[in-house]
Each structure stands twice: as structure tokens, then as C-alpha cells.
């Protein structure tokens, strides 16, 4: 094999050596890095799953029920309307006095802590003679 390598043209020898160097200096370290990152990603996913199980057990979010939500929200807002729409989603229309809009923002921040829901569409604000009507779509999880 060495004799046959000696009889090959110098251009082929040069390209063969460059290919070996490329393999040793770029491809193999890239593969090692890829598998190392893949293993690290798997470990982080497992850590997050364990953390989610620990924290999930401590949260006291109630399952979403439209009537219970309506009764709870009527204590904070002037008018509350909850209607079911497709794909297990609910359209919630709240009406609040313009001066008390900060109470809505506090309510919105704590919504996912109190109920197992997420807001899936942008909020719609309408000004109606000093009162603000807020429309949002939530989805229970």
C-alpha cells in the first residue's frame, strides 16, 4: 500500500493529507461537541421536569370552571361574562371602572396562579363612557 501511495501524483497526496487533517481537526471535534451538548440538553430537560413536578405540586391553582370563575370575578369587577368557544377555550368579558384599571392588571398577573388557565389571544380594551370593557380568551390546561 505504501508503494502504491508513492506512485500516486503529488496533487492527490496533498488532497489526501488535507482531507485527513480536516477530519481530525474539524469533523471529529464537531461530533464530540454535538454528542456532549446532546447529553447536557438531556440532563437539563430532566432537571426541569423534576423542578416542574416539585413546583407543580405546591401551586394551588384551581381547575377552571366558568361559573366558579364568574362568581369569583364578580367580586372584583362590575360586569363579568364568560362564554365557551371552540377548542376548549373561553371568551371572558370584564367591565371595570376606568379609575380601577390597576386592579385588573393585578388580577391578570395572578390569574394563572389562581386558575389553571393561560391567556391565548391578545387582550382587547374598549372605552365605554368611563368604564373599560376588557375581552380576553383563556384556555384551561
Q: How confident is the prediction for the chain on average, in pLDDT?
A: 87
- Res. 24: pLDDT tops 90: no
Of 1-5, 21-25, 68-72, 121-125, minimum mean pLDDT range = 1-5
pLDDT in tens, 38-73: 999 999 988 887 776 665 555 577 888 889 999 999
Quick one: 50 and 101 in the same domain?
no
Please check whether residues 86 and 135 belong to one and the same domain.
Answer: yes
- Phi first, then psi, for residue 49 (nearest 5°) are -65, -40
The reported pLDDT for the residue numbered 2 is 65
- Say how many domains are in the chain: 2
Strand locations in the chain (E): 79-85, 89-97, 117-119, 124-128, 131-140
Domain range enclosing 11: 2-58
Residue ending a domain, among 58, 74, 92, is 58
Last residue of a domain, one of 24, 39, 58: 58
Return the closest-CA partner of residue 93 out of 101, 104, 108, 83: 83
119 close to 138: Cβ distance less than 8 angstroms: yes
Amino acid at each position: 500500500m505504501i508503494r502504491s501511495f508513492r506512485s500516486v501524483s503529488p496533487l492527490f497526496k496533498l488532497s489526501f493529507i488535507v482531507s485527513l487533517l480536516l477530519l481530525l481537526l474539524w469533523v471529529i471535534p464537531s461530533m464530540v461537541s454535538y454528542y456532549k451538548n446532546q447529553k447536557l440538553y438531556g440532563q437539563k430537560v430532566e432537571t426541569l421536569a423534576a423542578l416542574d413536578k416539585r413546583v407543580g405540586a405546591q401551586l394551588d391553582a384551581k381547575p377552571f370552571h366558568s361559573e366558579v370563575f364568574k362568581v369569583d370575578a364578580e367580586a372584583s369587577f362590575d360586569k363579568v361574562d364568560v362564554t365557551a368557544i371552540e377548542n376548549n377555550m373561553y371568551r371572558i368579558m370584564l367591565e371595570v371602572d376606568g379609575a380601577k384599571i390597576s386592579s385588573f392588571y393585578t388580577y391578570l398577573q395572578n390569574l394563572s396562579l389562581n386558575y389553571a388557565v393561560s391567556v391565548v389571544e391578545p387582550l382587547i380594551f374598549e372605552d365605554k363612557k368611563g368604564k373599560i370593557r376588557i375581552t380576553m380568551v383563556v384556555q384551561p390546561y
